[in-house]
Amino acid sequence: MSVDVVLPCLDEVEALPRVLAGIPEGWQAIVVDNGSSDGSADVARSLGAHVVEEPRRGFGAACHAGLRAATAEIVCFMDCDGSLDPAELHRVVDPVAAGEADLVLARRRPTARGAWPLHARLANLELARRLRARTGAPLHDLGPMRAARRERLLALGLGDRRSGYPLEMVLAASAAGMRIAETEVGYRPRAGRSKVTGTLRGTRQAITDMRAVLASPPPTLLVIAKEPAPGRVKTRLTPARTPEEAAALAEAALADTLATLDAVPAGERVLVLDGRPGPWLPSGWRVVPQVEGGLDLRLAAAFTRVRQDVPAFLVGMDTPQIAGEQVASPLSPAGRRGVDAWFGPAADGGFWALGLARPELAARLLPGVPMSTDRTGEVLLARMEAAGLRVHRLPELTDVDTAETADLVASLVPGSRFGALWSALPAVSR
């Protein structure tokens, strides 16, 4: 079992030697220096830690830099101020490693007077109460010691870079269907003064950051698709592939897309389907039929089938290479600020994703847009900009339409269902 321990650090030279000495044998300590002026980074290096420099100030910035720098399957987070005992990291790691939970937080139990200021403890109790009501998770503490699998955390697309990061992680994990658990650890007086609860400014900033996270409900995720039946899907793959092979590839692409979005925070997941669902459909998805008419009208209608007071984000079944973070990050509370729409261009001139902060706008934007042309995306983007919408452009992706594009996409995600199936089929003659 490979484990990395992320230690966000701002002037913790006093506690670092004790903390690093207690990291379990074989685990890597990643000290993220967040602008220390006391030589913390040099001390950490001298003690064998992997040091990451994160110049952008903020607890979340340091934590996320450590998550990105980690290479182990499981990642832990822990304050490096000496208030927590690294020997107890197994308490949060073991349930994740055993597959019993996806995210484990440590509930702090003070071991000495003064370990936990009363105002901080009361605020934490109220926050934990709200978390239980919002997520149903059995939490009593938004503890700074926690563990999860790295890939699951990256797929959450966490956007807060200040004090809201720990709260956003829990809310996003719940919205992504992760199983959240809690275990007890000891909590002792920290070395030095807290940068958050130890100052009035830090406390106010933490409250502001957390309120912003709590005020942003998770988005609705939409997938528009056809039933992957021979002769109905991926017809441009024939005659290079048989109709049966083309349908199997379409099913694999759809299954990959649904699996990716299953790991992304969402209030609801909706499949807008032309046809009947099959064994490729994961549990938890609401299926609604497509309306009659052209694709422009079907897309517009899809946005009417969901909540209108939260952002809705729609993707098709032609891009099995999408990554969870690619979708989740721009839809995070921080990623939404100042954004009215999200637009993901496709290499063929269309688009692979469309998100709207106000889903009702689809009825004005989509009808009449020429579909399946090399100008489809250009026309839609021009309409959004003419309507005064602030558009966040996503990376360009390649749709799977022809044997050439299928070959390209499969090479990008060889471990996916689509990539594995394409590789297993006989080579296409050129």
Rounded to 5°, the CA angle 221-225-229 comes to 150
Question: Which residue has tokens 């002026």?
Answer: 37
Question: Which residue has tokens 């497509």?
Answer: 290
pLDDT of residue 427: 80
* pLDDT greater than 70 at residue 197: no
Spatial separation of the C-alpha atoms in residues 217 and 355, rounded to whole Å? 15
Picking from 314, 287, 310, 288, the residue whose alpha carbon sits closest to that of residue 300 is: 314
* pLDDT greater than 90 at residue 300: yes
pLDDT of residue 69: 98
Question: Which residue has tokens 């230690």?
Answer: 7
State the average pLDDT for the chain. 93
Cα 400 to chain centroid, rounded: 24
The structural domains of the chain, ordered by start, are 3-214 (3.90.550.10), 220-424 (3.90.550.10)
- Summarised one tens digit per residue, pLDDT across range 63-91 is 999 999 999 999 999 999 999 999 999 99
- Summarised one tens digit per residue, pLDDT across range 85-144 is 999 999 999 999 999 999 999 999 988 776 677 777 777 888 888 888 888 999 999 989
Burial of 135 (0-12, 13-18, 19+ CB in 10 A): middle
pLDDT of residue 430: 47
**Encoded amino acid at 68, one letter:** R
- Summarised one tens digit per residue, pLDDT across range 221-261 is 999 999 999 999 999 999 999 999 999 999 999 999 999 99
pLDDT of residue 45: 98
pLDDT band, very low/low/confident/very high, at 189 (cuts 50, 70, 90): confident
Spatial separation of the C-alpha atoms in residues 421 and 410, rounded to whole Å? 9
Entry pTM: 0.92
Rounded to 5°, the CA angle 344-347-351 comes to 35
Sequence-distant (6+) residues with CB within 8 A of 173 are 102, 103, 148, 152, 156, 180, 265
Rounded to 5°, the CA angle 292-295-297 comes to 60
pLDDT of residue 117: 72
Spatial separation of the C-alpha atoms in residues 357 and 330, rounded to whole Å? 12
pLDDT band, very low/low/confident/very high, at 193 (cuts 50, 70, 90): low
